[in-house]
Amino acid sequence: MFEANDPNALQLTTDGQLRHFLTTEGLPRELLVEILDTADSFVDMSQQQVKKVPLLRGKTVVNLFFEASTRTLSTFELAAKRLSADVLNLNISTSSTKKGETLKDTLMTLEAMHSDMFVVRHADSGAAHFIAQHVTPHVAVINAGDGRHAHPTQAMLDMLTIRRHKGDFAPLKVAIVGDILHSRVARSQIHALRTLGVDEIRVIAPKTLLPRHIEALGVKVYTDMATGLRDVDVIMMLRLQKERMQSALLPSEAEFYKLYGLNRDKLAYAKPDAVVMHPGPINRGVEIESEVADGPRSLILDQVTNGIAVRMAVMSKAMSGQLAQRGALAEAEEQA
């Protein structure tokens, strides 16, 4: 496991701009709102004839995925290309890290290619922080998911989806349902929701899929769907992450679906205008029934569209922060 100490010492420049995007935890509300506002301006770009802006022209973005994810990789690649960046998708399965080359050696090789940004996905918690600590100062690092720790861009695209459909965060009751224990998405969602000031955050799961001391994050814990979903405005379902389960935490998928799968009957406990979200990929008939996933209250496809806009916003803001930091360092050297 990597260590992830004091993320904001890495994430922010001396004047509070985004330098790396590693976690939503501890970031100021003003910065999260800036990211959402910037993303809002990009959402409708897919409807335009020319879908590019020149904000990252001449920059090289490396998608450094040590863990497979078709949806996240493709949206990051498309986001970078819409910002006019050059994009390199590094196939880790055939890279020299499989031949014994250390992660630091890989980073040095990529830096020698004059890369400007690393988008990192890794199975170990803290990997993105480790990379941010060891890259040269001119490289920005975006966390695309690390172990059970964080998935900040997924959380922010969820926040954008909620804001575009519900407006103000303050009056909302939000329920996060499913495999909380193994979910980096849930942790990032909780931090972002708290910072943005939602009225109430609930987590709903069997006891075996709840982290210890989850209440310390400021959430209300429920093990019963009927009680937990009562009068909520937003339902955020999670994928059942069987690949991260090291023991028999569930009797069966059928039993999980019976108790915690979202169907029309369980959806009826929420408010009549409650919306349904899922980070994907969906396990239909395990976490959610198709009629709900494809129904009029589902925002799942909106999340995909908003994911491109949010990742464009994060990339452009991180690169802007890196340039500002570089200028400040150069000015300090001149004065010295």
The predicted-structure confidence for 1-58, as pLDDT tens digits, reads as follows 444 455 677 899 888 899 999 999 999 999 999 999 999 999 988 778 778 999 999 9
pLDDT of residue 110: 87
Q: Collapsing DSSP states into helix, strand and coil, what is residue 299?
A: coil
Q: What is the pTM of this model?
A: 0.91
Pairing of strands 140-146, 117-122: parallel
Q: Is 326 annotated as a binding residue?
A: no
Q: Is 278 annotated as a binding residue?
A: no
Both structure tokens of 111: 């830096």
Q: Is 82 annotated as a binding residue?
A: no
Residues of the chain with pLDDT under 70: 1-7, 93-101, 242-251, 326-336
Q: Is 71 annotated as a binding residue?
A: yes
Q: Is 57 annotated as a binding residue?
A: no
What residue type is 297 in one-letter code?
Answer: R
What residue type is 192 in one-letter code?
Answer: A
Q: Is 134 annotated as a binding residue?
A: no
In the block, which residue shows the tokens 């910037």? 38
113 alpha carbon, distance to own chain's centre: 27
Pairing of strands 86-91, 140-146: unpaired
pLDDT of residue 7: 60
Spatial distance between the Cα atoms of 296 and 267, rounded to a whole number of angstroms: 12
Q: Is 104 annotated as a binding residue?
A: no
pLDDT digits (tens, 9 = 90+) for 173-214: 999 999 999 899 999 999 999 999 999 999 999 999 999 999
Spatial distance between the Cα atoms of 210 and 203, rounded to a whole number of angstroms: 9
Spatial distance between the Cα atoms of 234 and 297, rounded to a whole number of angstroms: 10
Alpha helices in the chain (DSSP H): 7-11, 29-43, 70-82, 103-112, 127-134, 152-166, 184-196, 225-228, 253-260, 264-267, 290-293, 300-335
Q: Is 99 annotated as a binding residue?
A: yes
- Which structural domains are found in the chain, ordered by start? 7-150+304-326 (3.40.50.1370), 152-298 (3.40.50.1370)
